[in-house]
Amino acid sequence: MSRATVEFRDFSFTYAGMKIPAVRGINFSVEEGSIALLAGASGSGKSTILRSINGLIPHIYPGEYKGDVFVDGQSVIETETFELARKIGFLFQNPENQIFMFTVERDVAFGLENLGYEPKEIKKKVEWALKLLGISDLAKRSPSELSDGQKQRVALAGSLVMDPKIIVLDEPTSLLDPKTAQEVVHLVEDLKRTLGLTVILVEHRLELVSAIADKIIILNKGEVFAEGKPDQILAKDNLHEAGLSIPPIIELQKRLGLVDSDAVAMDVDDFLQRFVQKWQL
Amino acid sequence: MAVIEFKDVSHVMPNGIMALSNVNLKIESGEVLAIVGSNGAGKTTLLKHMNGLLKPSSGSVFVFGSETKGKSVAELSRHVGLVFQNSDHQIFSESVFEEIAFGLRNFGFAGEELYNKIISTLRWFDLYDLKDRPPMTLSGGEKKRLCIATVIAWNPEVLVLDEPTVGQDYPNKVRLFALIKSLIGEGRTVVIVSHDLEFLWPLSPRTVVMANGRILTEGSAESIFMDEELLNSAGLRQPQLAQLAMRLNLRSPFSSLDDAVTWFRGRI
């Protein structure tokens, strides 16, 4: 069995000046080379969990810290944020918040230049990342001229050149149209497969990413509400309580009493194959 | 009567990109219109022409019969209230109360009338208990509600919403849906740009599909949402209930989840 790359052990955190913990009693792990989907309503504690992985909590955000968080075997509280930043690449909802250079290749090279890499090495790594993400032809272009999907790829390339072990994507598709969003999701799956990356994905749209996730962790009111394989989680009948939208095809199966304890058809084609052919409609 | 009309409208951006190309569109009083299409299709550019934030490079836009070319955003906003996709781009006051007061003052409301309008708006949108909070400290759902409230406060005939469901979780989407339904129920004209076809579906809007700055086609929600090929070509995903009805060779799609449940219960 793979080892855990990110692990929360009895973790609770209360921001300074607040009385109620933002998250409490958190226990879960994300295995090396897997994709974990972190879902939950606004205010469920997702942002606090992400800040606890990249070390902003407790190194930048003060507060009461209980339990432990481990990233790649190291305790976050005992690890400097710059060291964590070398291991973890972040991709935000709006790529414009992390793209700022005048050309794509300069933007992708930015992190390496700051770390003092040799120009030759930088060139090699940038070319590799651009090729991997299918945007070599955009190298000389200004990021401001690119489409939203292309900007997401540029931001991702900027993370990948740093050779991270873990990629954290915070609602990377929410501003994208469904087709472009699907492309980003497939890209994430490819990265996991080809580079063996561990991926932590925060998303509202369960139907979009459930198919590629190895595990779903649902947060509600600062606690882990449910954790398991996607079809087990989606088969649960209390997901609305955690503020999540259920894809209509899954809601339909629940209303028709077709959900086994641990399995559900994830999309329309799967539904037709499982049930409708049997009923000969 | 058309409340907004686009006649052969093209818009060229400062960088030379043609964002709109020969757009012709009539929006009738009291109708619900959805505008759908991929990123970069020209949807937001189209919306910005409705309250004069952008003016056509060629062609004309008419709001309640008057051409927008000679009108200010303030004049047009009296009739057409635009709610941006990102609430943070719209919010700037020190309190929720002041945020709602700002637009009303600009439209000449004062004294007791101003106060009463603010209070009734706060209550209608369930924001009264938050009236002293700085808007930037609100949750995403509360901010979205506030942005719609600030616009509805001065009672524009047309409400224009740009991607209202982005970043909204399930409880907020349910609340937003109920809010939009009640505004439609009042007879208001509502224009919604959204990728979220599952959200639009139960509103049964007349639907305009855009691609590359042009109107690809328009029609009833039923005719558009049942056309999988068209939606795919516009970078969209068919709503699951429409997809299911199509795969079952039904002539019309399920209008709601309840409708689908009833159909299946009668057959299994």
Residues A144 and A259 in one domain: no
CB-based contact A184:A149 (threshold 8 Å): yes
Chain A: closest CA distance from residue B103 (Å): 28
Strand runs (DSSP E) across chain B, as ranges? 2-12, 18-28, 32-37, 58-63, 66-67, 80-83, 158-162, 189-193, 206-211, 214-220
B253 phi and psi, to 5 degrees? -75, 165
Asked whether the ipTM of the predicted complex exceeds the cut of 0.90, the reply is no
* pLDDT, tens digit (0-9, with 9 covering 90-100), for B21-42: 999 999 999 999 999 998 889 9
Alpha helices in chain A (DSSP H): 46-53, 56-59, 81-87, 104-114, 119-132, 148-160, 178-195, 206-209, 230-234, 248-255, 268-271, 277-279
Are B171 and A268 within 8 A, CB to CB? Answer: no
CB nearest A148 (choices: B15, B39, B168): B39
**In this structure, are A200 and A218 located in the same domain?**
yes
The residue written with tokens 């818009």 in the block is B11
Number of inter-chain CB pairs under 8 A, A vs B? 95
pLDDT digits (tens, 9 = 90+) for B234-254: 889 888 899 999 999 988 888
Both A153 and A257 in one domain: the answer is: no
Same domain? For B142 and B27 the reply is no
Q: Are residues A273 and A239 in the same domain?
A: no
Say if residues A65 and A145 touch (Cβ distance below 8 Å). Answer: no
Domain extent at residue A255: 247-281
**What is the reported pLDDT for B124?**
87
pLDDT for position A262? 62
Chain-chain contact of B267 with A147 (C-beta, under 8 angstroms)? no
Tokens 């990249």 -> residue = A54
Closest approach of chain B CAs to the CA of A204, in angstroms?
A: 7
Q: Which residue of A has its CA nearest to B267?
A: A281
Same structural domain, B29 and B60: yes
Kindly calculate the radius of gyration of chain A based on its CA atoms and give it in whole angstroms: 20
Instruction: Tell whether B164 and B35 lie within a shared domain.
Output: yes
Does B9 lie in the same domain as B65? yes
- The CATH number of residue B162's host domain is 3.40.50.300
Nearest by Cα to B132 from B99, B175, B89: B99
Q: Are residues B166 and B198 in the same domain?
A: yes
A44 and A102 within one domain:
yes
Q: Is B230 within the bounds of a domain? A: no
Residues of A in contact with B167 (CB under 8 A): 93, 171, 174, 204
Span A58-84, pLDDT tens digits: 999 999 999 999 999 999 999 999 899
Q: In what order do the strands lie in the sheet with B189-193?
A: B80-83, B158-162, B189-193, B32-37, B206-211, B214-220
- Does residue B247 lie within any of the structural domains? no
Give yes or no: residues B113 and B55 share one domain. no
User: Which tokens in the block code for residue A269?
Assistant: 């084609």
The alpha carbon of residue B49 is apart from the nearest alpha carbon of chain A, in Å, by 22
Residues B51 and B102 in one domain: no
Same domain, A176 and A280: no
Q: Are residues A252 and A274 in the same domain?
A: yes
Pairing, β A74-75 against β A88-91: unpaired
Claim to verify: residue B66 and residue B166 sit in the same structural domain:
yes
Domain count, chain A: 2
Instruction: Tell me: do A98 and A140 sit in the same domain.
Output: yes
Q: For residue B85, is pLDDT > 90?
A: no
> Containing domain of residue B34, as a range?
1-79+157-172+184-221
Alpha carbons B218 and A126: distance in angstroms, whole number: 44
Which pLDDT score is estimated for A281?
A: 66
A205 and A264, same domain (yes or no):
no
**Tokens 């999540």, residue?**
A244
The residue length of chain A stands at 281
Whether residue A30 is found in the same domain as residue A105: yes
The two structure tokens encoding residue A219: 């947060």
B232 contacts in A (CB within 8 Å)?
A: 179
Would B64 be classed as within a structural domain? yes
Residue B227 lies in a domain: no
Give the distance from residue A184's alpha carbon to the nearest chain B alpha carbon, in angstroms.
13
From the list A93, A177, A249, the residue facing B38 with the nearest CB is: A177
* A68 and A117 within one domain: yes
Q: What is the pLDDT of residues B123-160, one digit of tens each?
A: 988 899 999 999 988 877 888 899 999 999 998 999 99
Same-domain pairing of B67 and B2: yes
Q: Do B236 and A248 lie within an 8 Å CB cutoff?
A: no
Encoded amino acid at B40, one letter: G
How close B128 comes to chain A (CA, Å)? 21
Q: Specify whether A132 is located in the same domain as A258.
A: no
How is residue A93 annotated by DSSP? S
Cβ distance of A279 and B267 shorter than 8 Å: yes
Residue B129: inside a domain, yes or no? yes
Model confidence over B209-237: pLDDT tens digits?
999 999 999 999 989 999 999 998 888 98
CATH code of the domain covering residue A11: 3.40.50.300
**List of chain B residues whose C-beta atoms are within 8 Å of the C-beta of residue A268:** 240, 243-244, 247
Least CB–CB distance from B248: residue in A177, A256, A281: A281
Total domains present in chain B: 2
In a domain, B263, yes or no: no
Token pair listed for A38: 């972190």
